[in-house]
Chain A
Amino acid sequence: MDVTTILLLLLVGALVTYFSGDKLASKVALVFSLGTMAVTLYLLNSSAQLSDLSFYANWIDAPKVALAFKADGLSLAMVLLTTALTPLIIFSSFGNSFNNSKNFYALVLFMAFAMTGTFLAADGLLYYIFWELALIPIYFIALIWGNGDAEDRKKAVVKFFIYTLAGSLFMLIGFAYLYTKADSFLLEDLYKLNLSATEQCYIFFAFFLAYAIKIPIIPFHTWQAKVYQKAPTVGTMLLSGIMLKMGLYSVIRWQLPIAPLAAKTYMPVLIGLSIAGVIYGSIVALRQKDLKKLLAYSSLAHVGLIAAGCYTLTIDGLRGAVLQMIAHGFVIVGLFFAAEIIYRRYETRTIAEMGGIRAQTPRFTSMFMILVLASVALPGTFNFVGEFTVLYSLIQINIWFVILGGTTIILGGYYMLKMFQNTMLGETNTKVFADVTTNEAITLVVIIGFLLFFGLYPKPIVDLVTPSLHQILETINR
Chain B
Amino acid sequence: MNTLIAISGLGVFCLIAEIFNLRKLLVPVTILGLLVILGLTISEFNTPELFNNPMYNNMIVVSKFSVAFSSLFIILTIFLVALSGDFYKEHLTKISDFIAIKIFLLAGAVAMISFGNLSMFFLGIEVLSISLYILAGSKRLDLKSNEAGMKYFLMGSFASGIILFGICLIYGAMTSFDVEYIKSLSRSAELPIWYTIGVILLLIGMLFKIAAVPFHFWAPDVYEGSPSMTTATMSTLAKVVAMATLFKLLDVLNADIDYKFQIVLAIVSVLSMTVGNIMALRQNNVKRMLAFSGISHAGFMLMALLSMATAASTLLYYTAAYALAGIASFAVIIYVTRDKENEDIVNFNGLGKTNPLMAAILTASLLSMAGIPIFSGFFAKFILFTQTITTGYLVVVIAAVINSIISVGYYFKLILAMYTKEAAEDKKAVPFVYHAVAVVAILLNIVIGIYPSLVMNLLN
Contact = CB atoms under 8 A, between A and B. Distances in A.
A165 B409 CA distance: 11
Interface size class of B (residues with CB under 8 A): 20 to 34
A173 B408 contact: no
Contact of A154 (B374, B386, B420, B451): B420
Interface string A144-162: 1000001001100010011
Contact of A61 (B382, B412, B419, B456): B456
Interface string B444-460: 00000001110011001
A180 B386 contact: yes
A133 interface: yes
B390 interface: yes
Nearest to A157: B416
Interface in B360-404: 367, 372-374, 378-379, 382-383, 385-386, 389-390, 394, 397-398, 401, 404
A169 B373 contact: no
Which of B405, B409, B419 is most buried by chain A, counting CB atoms within 10 A of its CB? B405
A154 B420 CA distance: 8
A176 B382 contact: yes
Interface string A47-91: 000000000000011110000000000000000000000000000
A136 interface: yes
A61 B397 contact: no
Q: Sort chain A's interface into a size bin.
A: 20 to 34
A60 B374 contact: no
A247 to B, nearest CB: 18
A63 B386 contact: yes
Given A63-B386, A129-B374, A173 B401 contact: yes
Given A62-B453, A62-B456, A173-B389, A143 B416 contact: yes
A177 B412 CA distance: 29
Contact of B367 (A129, A136, A154, A179): A136
Given A128-B373, A136-B372, A169-B404, A63 B416 contact: no
A60 B373 contact: no
Nearest to B413: A158
Given A132-B373, A140-B419, A176-B382, A162 B405 contact: yes
Majority SS of interface residues in chain B? helix
Contact of A158 (B385, B386, B412): B412
Contact of A144 (B390, B404, B419, B460): B419
A399 B137 CA distance: 76
A300 to B, nearest CB: 24
A169 B385 CA distance: 11
Nearest to B381: A172
30 contacts: A60-B456, A61-B453, A61-B456, A62-B457, A63-B382, A63-B383, A129-B374, A129-B378, A132-B372, A132-B378, A135-B372, A140-B419, A144-B352, A144-B419, A144-B420, A150-B420, A153-B420, A158-B416, A161-B412, A162-B408, A166-B405, A170-B401, A172-B382, A173-B389, A173-B397, A176-B386, A176-B397, A177-B394, A180-B389, A180-B390
Interface of B: 352, 367, 372-374, 378-379, 382-383, 385-386, 389-390, 394, 397-398, 401, 404-405, 408-409, 412, 416, 419-420, 451-453, 456-457, 460
Given A162-B409, A169-B404, 17 more contacts: A60-B452, A60-B453, A60-B456, A62-B457, A129-B378, A136-B372, A143-B420, A144-B419, A144-B420, A150-B420, A154-B420, A158-B409, A161-B408, A165-B405, A172-B382, A172-B401, A173-B394
